[in-house]
Homo-oligomer: A and B are copies of this chain.
Amino acid sequence: MPTAAAVIIGDEILSGKFADENGPYLISRLRTLGCDLERLVVIGDQIDGIAAEVRACSDAHDVVFTTGGVGPTHDDRTLEGLAQAFDLQLEQRAELVALIDRFGLPRNEASLRMATLPVGAELVSTEGSSYPVVVVRNVYVFPGVPRLMRMKFEAVAHRFAGEAVRTARLYTDQRETTIAADLGAVQEAWPQVDIGSYPRFGEADFQVIVTLESRDDEALAAAVQALTERLSLVTPRS
């Protein structure tokens, strides 16, 4: 299955001026698509930090998504960060300069920043948006504005599709310390299944939610069966 990392770029997220909507969106959509998100990082607008994080993620994961930092102002530094990450020059792209003219924007330093990309960047045309998706190696560059980010992501989402993970949830009125050994034993017996244990304290009519996840239906069913036999399960009212 494809593995992914997301790099959310923006001082405004870390300082709480704006809540990040793009991270939760990517989490939800990648899950549905069957692409395994292994890392999500929020960093500020500094070129060095962007370069280091993108490079590390690019090396360790099949695909990387960045959001933010691609506009015309001084705090938009994602493309410079990408150029530094991969030791690439920046070059003005004629097809993007033509877009600036078509948008009726002035051809000034600011607008031309948006037409300046790391050498070799792939441009993916998207329906419904005249500005293409920029791809540098395995890094997909999305804008920070949530509505635009979603439109562009959906235009290329099919590229990241894998096999969806199947999930089961069990609820028990036993405490984690009581069931830990059973969970561990079942996890060891079915390594293709990821078993998670999430306690609740006085908030619900159960003590622990146990989740089981796998792309192997037989293993998933067997692990559910094994835990059903070992745990005291309850049906939550809500």
Interface segment among A38-46, A116-124, A217-225, A228-236: the answer is: A38-46
Contacting B at CB under 8 A, from A12-38, are 12-19, 23-24, 27-28, 31, 37-38
Q: A73-B180, A75-B196 are in contact. Are A167 and B108 (CB under 8 A)?
A: no
Count A interface residues, CB 8 Å.
Answer: 63
Q: Which B residue's beta carbon lies closest to that of A169?
A: B17
Interface segment among A79-87, A134-142, A152-160, A197-205: the answer is: A197-205
- The smallest C-beta distance from A27 to any residue of chain B, in angstroms, reads 4
Q: Is B43 a contact of A73 with CB atoms below 8 Å?
A: no
Out of B73, B105, B211, name the residue touching A184 (CB < 8 Å): B73
Q: Which residues of B contact A41 (CB under 8 A)?
A: 39-42
Q: A15-B213, A145-B201 are in contact. Are A72 and B196 (CB under 8 A)?
A: no
Q: Which B residue's beta carbon lies closest to that of A208?
A: B73
- The smallest C-beta distance from A57 to any residue of chain B, in angstroms, reads 11
- The smallest C-beta distance from A198 to any residue of chain B, in angstroms, reads 6
Q: Which residues of B contact A111 (CB under 8 A)?
A: 177
- The smallest C-beta distance from A187 to any residue of chain B, in angstroms, reads 5
Q: Which B residue's beta carbon lies closest to that of A26?
A: B16
Q: How many copies does the complex hold?
A: 2
In the bound assembly, the distance between CA atoms of A41 and B14 in angstroms comes to 11
Q: Is B40 a contact of A42 with CB atoms below 8 Å?
A: yes
Q: Which residues of B contact A24 (CB under 8 A)?
A: 19
Q: Is B74 a contact of A198 with CB atoms below 8 Å?
A: no
Contact with B along A79-110 (1 / 0, CB 8 A): 00000000000000000000000000110111
Q: A109-B180, A177-B108, A213-B15 are in contact. Are A71 and B38 (CB under 8 A)?
A: no
A237 within 8 A of B: no
A161 within 8 A of B: no
Q: Is A110 a contact of B180 with CB atoms below 8 Å?
A: yes
In the bound assembly, the distance between CA atoms of A61 and B17 in angstroms comes to 21
Q: Which B residue's beta carbon lies closest to that of A32?
A: B16
Q: Which residues of B contact A1 (CB under 8 A)?
A: none
Ranked nearest first, the 7 interchain pairs of A and B with the lowest CB-CB distance are A110-B180, A73-B197, A40-B42, A74-B184, A111-B177, A16-B31, A16-B27
